[in-house]
Structures are given as structure tokens and as C-alpha cells.
């Protein structure tokens, strides 16, 4: 586990404050969601890694062979590496809670870490995730709060796969909220408000950890 496994940015807050990890979309970098994270959770330390895979110059968190066709071996590699990165920062910061926010490819790596390490994030906001496989959750998601946001006309993330992901997460015990809009892959104001509500209402401390 290394705090420096990824190039990353940190917006610090007080010691022991919540940690919010933010994960960018394809072609962006560690700066994409920093200010957004601060806006959503002003009292948190924000940590934003840059994807370590280049797709024709566009940064991603894991490889794919086509739109919606994932290199599952590389996804496994990336998931283990990211989980170690998150754990290293959690160990160093000893936060009151650990939150995650990802958009598009960033939502996919966050979801994959949630599947692999269900106790790591108390709260996760997955904005326009695409999970084209049946996840194997390594434990229970009971007590975890997960928001999925999606567009009904999203050409990248078909609504049926969003509904299937919701069903998987619920079956594993997660408290799931889904926020839709009628557009495509873009983030709209109602999604932002749903994320704000999620982080504002989520337990920020020890009581929630006992449910994991």
C-alpha cells in the first residue's frame, strides 16, 4: 500500500475529518472533480488520483478493448492498486468516515473497489457507471450508502445496465438511491443535488462503521 501509488492532488482539511476520494472520467485528470468534491463536502479532505492508463493519450483507471468491453485482468490489477492507495491514505489520516465519488470511468473503478472491499467506503456516489459484468461482492454491503446517477438516453451506459447494477447492490445489502435525468452522459443539476443530499445525510462516524 502506498499513498503515492498514483499521481494525485489533495485538498486538506482538519485532522480526523472525513476523507472524500474523487475519481475522474476518461480523458480528464486529478483536477476534474477537486472543486466539485469540496463543494459537496466542505468539511472533508479531498483526495483525487489520476488514472494510470493511457488510451490514445486519455487518462483512464483501467484498460478496455472497446466501448463497454473491459480488460478484466487489468481491471483486477487496477482495483487492487486503488484499494491499496485508498487504504494507505485512510491509515495515515485516520478519518471519521470515508466517502467516494466517481464519474464515468471513475465511477467504474470506484464501483469495482466497492465490490472488492465492501467495508472501505461508507458512502459512494457513482455518476454514470457502466458495469457490463456481474460483480462478485467480497462480503456484505449492509450499512453502505450508494447513489447511482444516470441518463435515460445515455449512449455509453444503457439504462438496463444501470437497473441491473442497482439490483446487484441491493441484493448485497446496500442502501441504494438512483437519480435519473432524461439526457445522456452529461452530469445535470439534479444529480449534483442528489450527491449533496447523500453526503449531507450520510453518517459521518463510528456508528455506521459498525454495520459493515
* Catalytic residue (choose from 104, 128, 145, 181): 104
In the annotation, is 96 catalytic?
no
CA atoms of 100 and 92, how far apart (whole Å): 17
CA atoms of 81 and 69, how far apart (whole Å): 21
- Alpha carbon separation from 61 to 10, 81, 112 (Å, rounded): 18, 10, 11
Record the cell numbers describing residue 26, joined without a space. 476518461
Record the cell numbers describing residue 112, joined without a space. 469495482
> How many residues are there in the chain?
212
* Catalytic residue (choose from 8, 52, 74, 185): 185
In the annotation, is 185 catalytic?
yes
Contacts 24+ apart (CB under 8 A), 62-67: 62/105, 62/108, 62/109, 62/112, 67/156
* Catalytic residue (choose from 128, 154, 172, 181): 154
Nearest-10 Cα torsion for 138, 110, 112, 185:
140
CA neighbor of 25 nearest in space, from 128, 150, 173, 176: 128
| Residues 102/111, Cβ–Cβ less than 8 Å | yes
In the annotation, is 73 catalytic?
no
Enzyme catalytic residues:
104, 154, 185
Amino acid at each position: 500500500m502506498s499513498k503515492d501509488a498514483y499521481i494525485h492532488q489533495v485538498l486538506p482539511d482538519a485532522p480526523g475529518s472525513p476523507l472524500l476520494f474523487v475519481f475522474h472520467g476518461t480523458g480528464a485528470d486529478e483536477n476534474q472533480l477537486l472543486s466539485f468534491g469540496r463543494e459537496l463536502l466542505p468539511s472533508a479532505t479531498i483526495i483525487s488520483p489520476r488514472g494510470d492508463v493511457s488510451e490514445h493519450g486519455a487518462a483512464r483507471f483501467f484498460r478496455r478493448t472497446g466501448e463497454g468491453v473491459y480488460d478484466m485482468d487489468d481491471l483486477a490489477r487496477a482495483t487492487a492498486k486503488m484499494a491499496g492507495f485508498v487504504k494507505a491514505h485512510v491509515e495515515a489520516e485516520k478519518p471519521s468516515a470515508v466517502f467516494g465519488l466517481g464519474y464515468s470511468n471513475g465511477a467504474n473503478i470506484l464501483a469495482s473497489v466497492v465490490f472488492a472491499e465492501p467495508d472501505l467506503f461508507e458512502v459512494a456516489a457513482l455518476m454514470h457507471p457502466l458495469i457490463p459484468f456481474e460483480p462478485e461482492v467480497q462480503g456484505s454491503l449492509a450499512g453502505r450508502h450508494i447513489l447511482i446517477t444516470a441518463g435515460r438516453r445515455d449512449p455509453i451506459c444503457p439504462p438496463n445496465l444501470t437497473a441491473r447494477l442497482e439490483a446487484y447492490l441491493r441484493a448485497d445489502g446496500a442502501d441504494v438511491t438512483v437519480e435519473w435525468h432524461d439526457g445522456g452522459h452529461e452530469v445535470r443539476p439534479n444529480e449534483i443535488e442528489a450527491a449533496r443530499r447523500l453526503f449531507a445525510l450520510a453518517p459521518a462516524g463510528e456508528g455506521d462503521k459498525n454495520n459493515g
